[in-house]
A and B are shown apart, each in its own frame.
Chain A
Amino acid sequence: MSRGLWLTALLVLAFEAGATEWAQQNYLLYCSGCHLPDGRGSAVNDVPSLHGIPGQFIKVPRGRAFLAQVPGILYSPLSDAEAAEIINWMLAQYSGELLPADFKPYTPQEVALHRRVRPANIMKLRAEILAELAALGVTVDYRAQ
C-alpha cells in the first residue's frame, strides 16, 4: 500500500474517532438530560430507553426517518451533520446488537431530508410504525429500560 493511501486511512480513522467523541459530547449535552447518560430513559415519563428500541425502528423506512423526526432531534439546534452523528453513535452505542450487517449509517443529507418533514402528530406516527413493525413480527416494548 502506498504511503498516500496509508495516510488517507489514518485520517479516516482519526475522523471516525473524532466523530464518535463529538457525538457523545453532543449526546450528553442535548439528549442525556432526559434519556440519561446511560440511555435508559424514564419509562414512567414517556422518555423511551435507547436500548433496543431505535435498533428496531431502522428496520422499516418510515421508522428510519422517524429517528430523525423525534422532537429531540427535529427541534434541536443541532446541524444535520451533528444530528446524523448523534443518531449513528446512539444506534451503535445502545442498539448495536440489533443493527443488520448491511446497516448504512445516516448521512447529513439523509437527516436533512427527514427533518424537512415535521410530523403533525408524532405519537400517532409512532403507533403506525409500531403496527408496521408488529406486522413484520417485531415487537417493541416501551416499558423496558
Chain B
Amino acid sequence: MQWLDNFMERKTREVAQLTSRRSALLRVGKALIGAGLLFPILPFDRQPQAAPGGHGGDAPAGGGHGGGGKGDPNDDTACEYWRYCALDGFLCTCCGGSISSCPAGSEVSKVTWVGTCQNPNDGKAYLISYNDCCGVSSCGRCMCNYNIGERPAYRMGVHNDVNWCMGNKANSYHCTVAVALGIAEAREPVA
C-alpha cells in the first residue's frame, strides 16, 4: 500500500502548491451555502405542508394503516373512517379499545380537543372529541395522520400534534379515540 500513501502525498502537495488556503475556504463556503439553498440544513417535519391536506386542508395528509385515501369511511379501524378527519396518532380500535373507549389498563386524557368531521352517510358535520388514552406506552398499530380543520400550535385548542395526556398523572401516550359529542350546524358569522 506504499504506492497509495505516496500517491496521496503527491496529490495533496500538488493541491497545496497550486491552490491557496483562502480559495479552499471560499470553495467550502460556497458549497455549504449552495447546499443550504438546495436542502434545508436543519431537519424538521415538512410532511403536513407537502401533503395536499396540510394544516387545515381538506385532504388526508397520508397515514399508515389504510393510508392513501383508499380505506372504508365506515370502518373504524381504517384511517379513512370519517370520525378520524383530524386524528394524529394510533387508533384505539386497533389497540384493544373502541371508537369511544380506551383499551384496558389505559386512562382517558383529562383534557383534549374537539373538532368537527363530516359524516358521509348523512352529510352532517359532527363534533368529535379526540381524547388520548394514557398511562401505557405507545400502541404502535394503525398510525393515522389526518389534519382536516386542525390548526398550528398557537391555536392549541385545535391542535393535534401535542400529547393530550399532559394533564394526566401517567402521561405516556397510548392511542386516540374519536368520541362524537353531537351534530354541529353551520352558521352565518355572528358580528
Contact = CB atoms under 8 A, between A and B. Distances in A.
Interface string A14-43: 000000011001001110111001000010
Nearest to A82: B190
A30 B157 contact: yes
Q: What DSSP secondary structure best describes chain B's contact surface?
A: mixed
Contacts of A47: 110-111, 167
B127 A25 contact: yes
Contacts, number: 56
B112 interface: yes
By secondary structure, the A interface counts as helix
Contact of A28 (B110, B155, B181, B189): B181
A45 B185 CA distance: 31
Nearest to B131: A33
Contacts of A80: 191
Contacts of A33: 111-114, 129, 157
A81 interface: yes
B110 A37 contact: no
A77 B181 CA distance: 21
Interface in B104-132: 110-116, 127, 129
Interface in A51-90: 72, 76-77, 79-82, 85
B167 A45 contact: yes
B37 to A, nearest CB: 37
Contacts of A82: 190
Interface string A88-130: 0000000000000000000010000000000000000000000
Nearest to A22: B187
Size class of the contact patch on chain B = 20 to 34
Nearest to B191: A81
Interface residues on A, range: 20 to 34
A67 B182 CA distance: 26
Contact of A42 (B111, B115, B181, B190): B111
A45 B164 CA distance: 12
A44 interface: yes
The 9 closest A-B pairs by CB, nearest first: A45-B167, A81-B190, A42-B110, A33-B113, A34-B111, A33-B112, A28-B127, A33-B114, A79-B190
21 contacts: A21-B185, A22-B187, A25-B182, A28-B182, A29-B114, A29-B116, A29-B127, A30-B157, A33-B111, A42-B111, A44-B110, A44-B167, A45-B110, A45-B167, A47-B110, A47-B111, A72-B157, A80-B191, A81-B190, A81-B191, A82-B190
Given A29-B115, A44-B169, A47-B111, 6 more contacts: A28-B114, A29-B184, A33-B111, A34-B157, A37-B129, A79-B191
Interface of A: 21-22, 25, 28-30, 32-34, 37, 42, 44-45, 47, 72, 76-77, 79-82, 85, 108
